[in-house]
Structure 1
Amino acid sequence: MTAPNLINDIRVASRLMVRELGFMNTTLAATDYSPSAVHTLLEVEHHGAITAAQLVNILGLEKSSVSRMLARLIKAGELQEVQSTDDARFKSLQLTAKGKESVARINRYGAMRVREAMEHLSEAQREAVARGLSAYAFALESCRNGAAQLGGARPEIVSGYLPGMIGRISEMHASYYSQHYDFGYFFEAKVAAGLAEFAGRLDNPRNGIWLAVRHGRIVGSVAIDGDDLGNNEAHLRWFILDEECRGSGVGRELLARAIAFCDEQQFGAVQLWTFSGLHAARRLYESCGFTLSKEWQGDQWGRPMLEQQFTRYSHAGSPSRA
């Protein structure tokens, strides 16, 4: 249990930071924009392209508030809407030339404030601030993501095939990635075809799948494919959670089952492929021992993305490929 005096110290420091960083003002970072608008521009720059639905989730604001703010930024010439190449029903937001200039000014201002503050600290204090602020920020984010309660029995983790598994896992992937990343039918078909092929190989003891099931309904999944990579390496695939389970710890439990299986089977390494921008998933992968081993521009997901490969080596293993 956190000591009361420590809680009070953190609250005092948080209030001071809010004031000193300018969040009490109507505008932020030497711009004419509100804090939420500044954060929006920074998120669009970070992702390259982003949907309104993604921004609602990232910023933790009401959909109507985000819609009004985006309309103002588009009217101001900071943002532009771009039609999705996968599905004409969806549009992404991108920075205009003016928006890129605005973000550059915001970043220069933010970096200047950090440098000035850090000059008052020793090197050890600087490192402690960086680590502590990151850990505290991620802890706050976890609280927000877990605020939606599961509302009943905790999902049960079961292994092996269940009827309807292929369709349900494909549905969860299609629903999440179409809403947040504009993925279309190409992605859904790719997931369904891969799962159908993999299900026919579940009799191999080096392959496994784990499902989170609540009230008879699949709400999460992860699989280990021990066949497709060779070189005594496992492929972690189809890690997904239904919206109601995110932030509940179910995802970590699924990953723990899959990793324990890999250790039991004595795979030299576990590989997974994903893309940039899935911040919560990346933190979970890294907490389980995965490290980013490769990045490149690709389109295996149906649209150009900054693709990533993460690797987890066994305790006795060593890097076996680039």
Structure 2
Amino acid sequence: MKATLAGTELPASAVHTLIEIGDRGGLTATELCERLNLEKSSVSRMLRKLIDAGELAEGNSDTDGRAKRLTLTAQGRRTLATIDSFAREQVGGALACLPAADHAMVVQGLRLYADALHARRAAKTAGPQTGAAPAIRIEQGYRPGLIGRAVEMHARFYARAHGFGAVFESKVAAGLAEFLPRLDRPCNAVWTALDGDRIVGTIAIDGEDLSSQAPGIAHLRWFIVEDGRRGGGLGRRLLDEAVAFTDRSGFAETRLWTFRGLDAARRLYEAAGFALAAESPGSQWGSEVVEQSFVRPFVRPRRS
């Protein structure tokens, strides 16, 4: 309720503006209105004050000759660094009052709540739709850009959830690069969730990765949904496609590996027939986590 925020002399909307522009490298006033959910007149007045104060600079937009692209000045970057430092100290101080094992739970809870708010706002914007097809479609098979998008979504999510970095991102990229050329074999498949042409979710079944351990074992891999898309049923749709494929293909069982604390994903797995088989501490991904393995036995497809 204070007039200023994050140890600055700026109001909350101005602090949020610097964060959004700094995070994306630049935005137009129209894009900023959409992100802040504020009226154009209010945003225009605030931007003029930030420009006059030396926090922002105006330049030409790469996509719209009529619009101005707003970027941080050197002073703006220093202000943003102060805001980030304030936030780290505040959040770090709060988390220090909790056991380390609960940190991931806090992150996941905040992510679930943010996703729910995003889904509600999207639903209100879209308005009532009777009998309309889902805006996001799911397709099987390779698509250009699949590796890059899947790696990006994994890297961003797990950096926040578990503090993973270059080691994790590199392993995800290497695994996908090895897997995709094997899609011509009927035991392997990948699905993408598409919003238009943009990939917003992925999942795969690797029918060969675990064959050296035992024949007939499928490996569920690279299950991820873009930030802001979770909580609306998209993850369940992807998972349904994958497990239906394993059952049609006659795999004796399907296995997956994940980490403790991802409770929303665990609920999806258990609803699809997976059960926790084992868990143990591990650090192969770049930071210490509790790894979990889940197993789902073959389910005979129903006859129509």
Task: Please confirm whether the aligned pair reaches a TM-score higher than 0.5, indicating the same fold.
Answer: yes
Question: In the alignment, which residue of structure 2 is the partner of 1:213?
Answer: 194
Q: How many residues align?
A: 197
* In 2, Cα distance between equivalents of 1:192 and 1:184: 13
Which of 171, 176, 186 does residue 195 from structure 1 map onto?
176
Question: In the alignment, which residue of structure 2 is the partner of 1:273?
Answer: 257
Question: In the alignment, which residue of structure 2 is the partner of 1:222?
Answer: 203
Question: In the alignment, which residue of structure 2 is the partner of 1:105?
Answer: none
Task: State the secondary structure of the residue aligned to 1:309.
Answer: strand
The residue type equivalent to 1:147 in the other structure is R
Unpaired runs of at least 5, structure 1: 1-39, 62-141, 317-322
Question: In the alignment, which residue of structure 2 is the partner of 1:305?
Answer: 289
* In 2, Cα distance between equivalents of 1:271 and 1:43: 35
Task: State the secondary structure of the residue aligned to 2:103.
Answer: coil
Question: In the alignment, which residue of structure 1 is the partner of 2:28?
Answer: none
Q: Are residues 1:286 and 2:232 paired?
A: no
Task: State the secondary structure of the residue aligned to 2:135.
Answer: coil
* In 2, Cα distance between equivalents of 1:243 and 1:59: 10
Q: Are residues 1:57 and 2:110 paired?
A: yes
> CA 1:201–1:50 in structure 2 vs 1: closer, same or farther (change >3 Å)?
same
State the Cα distance separating 1:146 from its structure 2 match: 4.1
- TM-score of the two chains, using structure 2 as the length reference: 0.59
% identical aligned pairs? 45
Q: Is the 8 A contact 2:112 2:230 kept in 1?
A: no
* In 2, Cα distance between equivalents of 1:43 and 1:248: 32
Q: Is the 8 A contact 2:182 2:188 kept in 1?
A: yes
Question: In the alignment, which residue of structure 1 is the partner of 2:241?
Answer: 257
* In 2, Cα distance between equivalents of 1:171 and 1:266: 32
* In 1, Cα distance between equivalents of 2:109 and 2:290: 22
Q: Is the 8 A contact 1:153 1:214 kept in 2?
A: no
Q: Is the 8 A contact 1:269 1:314 kept in 2?
A: yes
Deviation by residue 1:116-157 (Cα, 9 ceiling, x = unmatched):
xxxxxxxxxxxxxxxxxxxxxxxxxx966743537x962110
- TM-score of the two chains, using structure 1 as the length reference: 0.55
> CA 1:216–1:277 in structure 2 vs 1: closer, same or farther (change >3 Å)?
same
Question: In the alignment, which residue of structure 1 is the partner of 2:225?
Answer: 241
Task: State the secondary structure of the residue aligned to 1:255.
Answer: helix
Q: Is the 8 A contact 2:116 2:230 kept in 1?
A: no
Task: State the secondary structure of the residue aligned to 1:234.
Answer: strand
Task: State the secondary structure of the residue aligned to 1:295.
Answer: strand
Which of 130, 143, 149 does residue 162 from structure 1 map onto?
143
> CA 1:56–1:226 in structure 2 vs 1: closer, same or farther (change >3 Å)?
closer
> CA 1:147–1:300 in structure 2 vs 1: closer, same or farther (change >3 Å)?
farther
The residue type equivalent to 1:240 in the other structure is I
* In 2, Cα distance between equivalents of 1:47 and 1:147: 32
Question: In the alignment, which residue of structure 2 is the partner of 1:112?
Answer: none
Q: Is the 8 A contact 2:278 2:292 kept in 1?
A: yes
Task: State the secondary structure of the residue aligned to 1:48.
Answer: helix
Deviation by residue 1:207-248 (Cα, 9 ceiling, x = unmatched):
000000102100000000000111200000000000131011
Deviation by residue 1:43-102 (Cα, 9 ceiling, x = unmatched):
9756526379827716959xxxxxxxxxxxxxxxxxxxxxxxxxxxxxxxxxxxxxxxxx
Task: State the secondary structure of the residue aligned to 2:122.
Answer: coil
Q: Is the 8 A contact 1:292 1:309 kept in 2?
A: yes
